Amino acid sequence: MSDASRPARLLRAPENFIDLPGLAAEPSPEGRRRLLRGAFAAASTALLAGAARGQANPVPTEGGDPHILNLPPHSMALGQPVALEGYGKPSKYEANLQRRQSPGLTQTRQASVSFAPLQGLFGIVTPSGLHFERHHQGWWDIDPSGHRLMINGSDEKMLKRPMVFTMDELMRLPSVSRFHFIECGANTGMEWGNVAVPTVQYSHGMLSCSEFTGVRLIDVLDMCGVDLKRGRFVLAEGADGSSMTRTLPMDLVQRGEVLLAYGQNGEMLRPENGYPLRLVVPGVQGVSWVKYLRRIEVGDQPWASKDENVHYIDLMPDGLHREYTSTQEVKSVVTTPSGGQVLLDKGFYNISGLAWSGRGRIAKVDVSVDGGRNWRPARLQGPVMDKCLTRFNLDWVWDGKPALVMSRATDETGHVQPNYSQLRAVRGTRSIYHNNAIQTWLVQESGEVKNVQLS
Amino acid sequence: MFSSRECLLAIALVVAGGAALAQKFEGVGRTATPAELKAWDIDVRPDLRGLPPGRGTVAQGQDLWEAKCAGCHGVFGESNEVFNPLVGGTTKDDIKTGRVAALRNNGYPGRTTLMKVSEVTSLWDYINRAMPWTAPKTLKPDEVYAVTAYLLSLADVLPADGELSDKNMAEVQQRLPNRNGKINTRTLWPDGQRLKPDVQGSACMKNCVTEPRISSYLPEFARDAHGNLAQQQRLVGPQRGQDTQRKAAAPVTPAAAKPVMALLQQHACLACHQVDSKVVGPALREVAARYRERADRRDYFSDKLKNGSTGVWGPVPMPAQAHVPEAELKAIVDWLAEGAKP
């Protein structure tokens, strides 16, 4: 209850309160004003739209909150029976979180991509139904009883015995289950030159993470008597219309990391993700994780397939294309708060996001709320796994002033995620693939969060 | 590729060596038959391993192309209506050097397949395994040669009376415009993960940059380009989605709000045209200049945009742009009629 005649009570700043670090420490007040002006310039038009409304939770003037005082039907009646849904679905209140296409990106939905709604996901596992999709010639729901895997060599000496396996047989072999991220090489590709999309779903949503179950490819190659001295490369081929092919170095296979996977998050792969068999190539861009996998060929040189020679090549400033660029380098993004959202009020927030590296484990994530002037280490949520998403969190008290929120990951090899200036200085602005730059979100005074790039 | 003789040899070897290796997983898997290998082992490598014998002429390829390929790719491989253009952006000089000069030009819009491809086998293999789009793997080897020959002829790699076969494939490779345009820096290849990365960020924690400056953000006209963001965020939690479809205080029509350049971008005009220089199609300023004196130029432009045009500016046809809304079409036409000024 408020009493206007009483002097206002002094409230202690919450723990970890920070007063826009760096901006407060700015030696020249001019610098702070300039930053704010810049932020306002970007913000001005968006202010018109106004703030979103959250759940009001004021101290009631009399009695109490009707949501407490008046018992709802679900407290006073009989609920639904078991097995009403043989395969359960998310709450109807969660219908906004869908994988979505970016309008205009492609002209056909069979050669297209849908983005995972990272803005609404918790932890590191992507629900299978929200896993991003990339199809080159449409997806299929293939009858596993007719699916075969063939292993052969590019000549008669590459392996001793070309073999054929049924799904029954592959699923009899010793299995492993591992958590790994999968990221399309073109993730964040629309942002190489400038800001192009509004939310983290479209800027970073060609990213998912699952527990995959399958057989180590090296075990199956061993069964065929592979010549590992000559056979330094492997070709993976799909059974769908595009029969996607990609070359992998045998080095990766020999490390036992590459899996012939049939399981995803405790169930079989989803059809959109390659049911009944796909390759899992940890740390490597998604295009190499060939879906509907039908064949593995061992050879002594790369194949220069269409998706190695025309697409998934990186255009450099000198006009040369880098080919066979596969590793997804260290990267991170803040998902809360992120573009397209409106913060409900000033006060405490848990800044949260995802970090990953195709070179190994995440060692550290730093977060800045002042446009990269000052950084604080975030808490890494365990378990921190190899070539897997890592969730990070950081306490933040938003004072209602414009803030530039960013994250920067470092992996166990010491590789630090670059900012746009550092990335463009080497790779220019015309590439499509392997954009691992630091993402910046501008939190405006209205609470609206906007995708911005800094120079 | 694996010939049937090679397969028999391989099977013979199993008895000697493979059996012990397979013993651990007894009863799992069996030897592939020669017929099975022949059916699935279709890959073709840059060293031509796997390339079946056969031949096809440019003329044969053109007939096939018009029947099976032009619907998506355009008669001259130029269309961007369904996929990125296959042809355009390469010159006779590129064929000599093996480097596509337009790739060095930062202002050059888009990249066609023939600007990028550096191995002729990449084209052959892909057409063979994945084309036509709705009926993949239905072309016979001779047809794949013919279609590839026609595609290459559109970039002057083969003459109009030319032919492609397993015999001249290596020779034709030496005429690909971007055959010298690739490098393999191993830092991003998985077996190069121990190499130093080519880009390294800074680990600085305090007073790292003097003043952050916002250099790019989404323009206001693109605010709702991805739909209403309020419907793409959870309904509970620390934030909601922005209602991007709520109209601003003084609503303006989308056409009036959008600068012409944005319309040209949105409707993919810029995939073929630049304002100042010729790309697949003529420079827009040149188009404006040619018809500057015509009183009915607005009707003329409007007709060409709506219905397409052939033979006015060269052999590459301009597809009909019937999808452009009337108000936006008028904005583009007015801009052209007034000289295509920036």
Domains and CATH numbers, chain A: 120-322 (3.90.420.10), 331-452 (2.60.40.650)
Dihedral sign for Cα B298, B303, B308, B314, please: negative
pLDDT level of residue B271 (50, 70, 90 thresholds): low
B213 near A CB under 8 A: yes
Give the closest-approach CA distance of B58 to chain A in angstroms: 22
Cβ distance B193 to A102 less than 8 Å, yes or no, reads no
- By the 8 A CB rule, do A21 and A421 touch? no
Instruction: Out of A15-24, A218-227, B172-181, B268-277, pick the least confident.
Output: A15-24
* Cis peptide bond N-terminal to B319, omega within 30: no
State whether residue A30 is helix, strand or coil. Answer: helix
Instruction: Out of A176-180, A394-398, A451-455, B193-197, pick the least confident.
Output: B193-197
pLDDT level of residue B305 (50, 70, 90 thresholds): confident
Residue A400, pLDDT > 70, answer: yes
State mean pLDDT over A32-59.
51
User: What pLDDT, in 10s, does the model give residues B39-65?
Assistant: 999 999 999 999 999 999 999 999 999
State mean pLDDT over A428-451.
96
Contacts of A79 (CB under 8 A, 6+ apart): none
Write out chain A residues lying below 8 Å of B109, CB-based: none
Write out chain B residues lying below 8 Å of A350, CB-based: 238
Nearest to B213 among A38, A153, A305 (CB): A38
ipTM: 0.87
Q: What percent of chain A has pLDDT over 90?
A: 83
DSSP tag of A12: P
| Stretch (H or E) spanning A40 | helix A29-43
Residue A19, pLDDT > 90, answer: no
Cβ distance A39 to B214 less than 8 Å, yes or no, reads yes
Cβ distance B126 to A305 less than 8 Å, yes or no, reads yes
Q: Domains in chain B and their CATH numbers?
A: 4-40 (no CATH), 55-173 (1.10.760.10), 255-337 (1.10.760.10)
Secondary structure (DSSP) of A286-305? GGGS-SSEEEEEEESS----
Residue A37, pLDDT > 50, answer: no
Give the closest-approach CA distance of A27 to chain B in angstroms: 10
pLDDT level of residue B335 (50, 70, 90 thresholds): confident
State mean pLDDT over A111-134.
97
Measured between its terminal Cα atoms, the distance across chain B in Å is: 55
Residue B329, pLDDT > 50, answer: yes
- pLDDT value of residue B22: 61
- By the 8 A CB rule, do B119 and A304 touch? yes
According to the per-residue pLDDT averaged within each range, which of B14-18, B24-28, B261-265, B302-306 is highest?
B24-28
State mean pLDDT over B88-110.
94
State mean pLDDT over B270-275.
70
Q: Which residue of B has its CA nearest to A423?
A: B199
User: What pLDDT, in 10s, does the model give residues A289-345?
Assistant: 999 999 999 999 999 999 999 999 999 999 999 999 999 999 999 999 999 999 999
pLDDT level of residue B4 (50, 70, 90 thresholds): very low
The model's pTM: 0.80
Where helices occur in A382-449 by DSSP H, the ranges are 420-427
Tell me the average pLDDT of chain B.
85
Residue A18, pLDDT > 80, answer: no
Dihedral sign for Cα B135, B136, B142, B144, please: positive
Q: What percent of chain A has pLDDT over 70?
A: 88
B28 near A CB under 8 A: yes
Give the closest-approach CA distance of B220 to chain A in angstroms: 7
Q: Rounded to an integer, what distance in angstroms lies between the CA atom of residue A120 and that of residue A32?
A: 32
B232 near A CB under 8 A: yes
Write out chain B residues lying below 8 Å of A429, CB-based: 106
Q: Which residue of B has its CA nearest to A108?
A: B82
- If contacts are CB pairs under 8 Å, which of residues 283-322 in chain B contact chain A? none
Cβ distance A160 to B235 less than 8 Å, yes or no, reads no
- By the 8 A CB rule, do B154 and B87 touch? yes
Cβ distance B205 to A366 less than 8 Å, yes or no, reads yes
- By the 8 A CB rule, do A404 and A441 touch? yes
Size of interface A-B (CB pairs under 8 A): 402
Q: What percent of chain B has pLDDT over 90?
A: 54
Q: How far is CA A304 from CA A241, A312, B46, in A?
A: 19, 11, 7
Cβ distance A329 to B197 less than 8 Å, yes or no, reads yes
- pLDDT value of residue B330: 85
B185 near A CB under 8 A: yes
State mean pLDDT over A184-204.
96
Cβ distance A326 to B21 less than 8 Å, yes or no, reads no
Select the residue from A112, A322, A329, A452 to test the B interface by mutation, using most B Cβ atoms within 10 A. Answer: A322
Dihedral sign for Cα A364, A365, A368, A371, please: positive
pLDDT level of residue B15 (50, 70, 90 thresholds): very low
Select the residue from B13, B214, B267 to test the A interface by mutation, using most A Cβ atoms within 10 A. Answer: B214
For residue A280, the one-letter residue type is V
Cβ distance A48 to B100 less than 8 Å, yes or no, reads no
- pLDDT value of residue B317: 67
- pLDDT value of residue A30: 42
State mean pLDDT over A194-213.
97
For residue A25, the one-letter residue type is A
User: What pLDDT, in 10s, does the model give residues B79-95?
Assistant: 888 899 999 999 999 99
- By the 8 A CB rule, do B56 and B144 touch? yes
Cβ distance A304 to B119 less than 8 Å, yes or no, reads yes
Instruction: Out of A259-263, A323-327, B33-37, B145-149, pick the least confident.
Output: A323-327
Residue B158 CB coordination number (10 Å): 22
State mean pLDDT over B134-153.
97
State mean pLDDT over B241-257.
59
- By the 8 A CB rule, do A277 and A170 touch? yes
Tell me the average pLDDT of chain A.
89
Residue A3, pLDDT > 50, answer: no
- Among residues A137, A141, A159, A113, the alpha carbon closest in space to that of A295 is found at A159
Q: How far is CA B39 from CA A226, B138, B192, in A?
A: 22, 13, 35
